Amino acid sequence: MKNFDLFEKKLGLSFNNKDLLTQAFVHRSYLNENPEFGLDQNERLEFLGDAVLELVVTEELYKQYPEKAEGELTNWRAALVNAKMLTRVAEELGFNDFLLLSRGETKELGKARQYILANTFESLVGALYLDSGYKDCDVFIKKYLIKHLSDIIATGSYKDAKSHFQEQAQDKDGITPVYKILKEWGPDHKKKFTVGVYLKETLVTEGEGYSKQEAEEEAAKKALEVKNWN
């Protein structure tokens, strides 16, 4: 069993219910090989944590940047809570050492692992919310995630491909892009998606990813290249 006391000490956390902390790291695949483990997988915690995370980030941006318009704040928030950023923070905090995965998933180190790390970050926030409440989540998220906002603003990385493609499509063609799921496959714990991006009825290109958002972003990147709008 993983030593979550070390994890708490490293991050300055103190869970009253240690099972909640452990459950935050239980991937669905682990229970397939360990059905008698005694704790559920982390997807319900992820669902809760996603909402708490978005509220904390939204509230902080709203308070700290009263002069900024909704559109810019929305882009900043998206850059903070997307899978790429959550994966980066989870890696910085050593989540890889505590994940409870199947033997097969343990060997996966590419996009699939990144997706698991991002989801686990949300699961941990959900567990922390249930264990200690909103205030502790607020402190945790500001300490480890929102601190990256200054870099996001300085580098302009909040200007994701999807937003860029929408701006270009509206400016050049007067059309708002529409994204449609064309295909989804794979087991529930590692589902993949193919998404098409359309201008009116015309399919511009397709993108794949381990989430709908990732597939949409990939489709937008390709669409920028296809239309030569980079």
What token pair was written down for 122? 């949300």
State the catalytic residue, choosing from 50, 131, 216, 217.
Answer: 50
Name beta bridge partners: 196: 180, 206
Strands 202-209 and 178-185, sheet pairing: unpaired
Provide the edge-to-edge strand list for the sheet that holds 202-209: 178-185, 192-199, 202-209
Select from 3, 90, 1 the least CA-distant residue to 46. 90
- Tell me, yes or no, if 173 is annotated catalytic: no
CA 208/CA 223 separation, integer angstroms:
13
- Tell me, yes or no, if 50 is annotated catalytic: yes
- DSSP for 140-161 reads HHHHHTGGGHHHHHHHTTTS-H
Strands 178-185 and 192-199, sheet pairing: antiparallel
- DSSP for 54-120 reads HHHHHHHHHHH-TTS-HHHHHHHHHHHHSHHHHHHHHHHTTGGGT-B--HHHHH--SHHHHHHHHHH
- How much of the chain is helix, strand and coil, in % rounded to 5? 65, 10, 25
State the catalytic residue, choosing from 46, 60, 105, 122.
Answer: 122
Q: Which residues are catalytic?
A: 50, 122
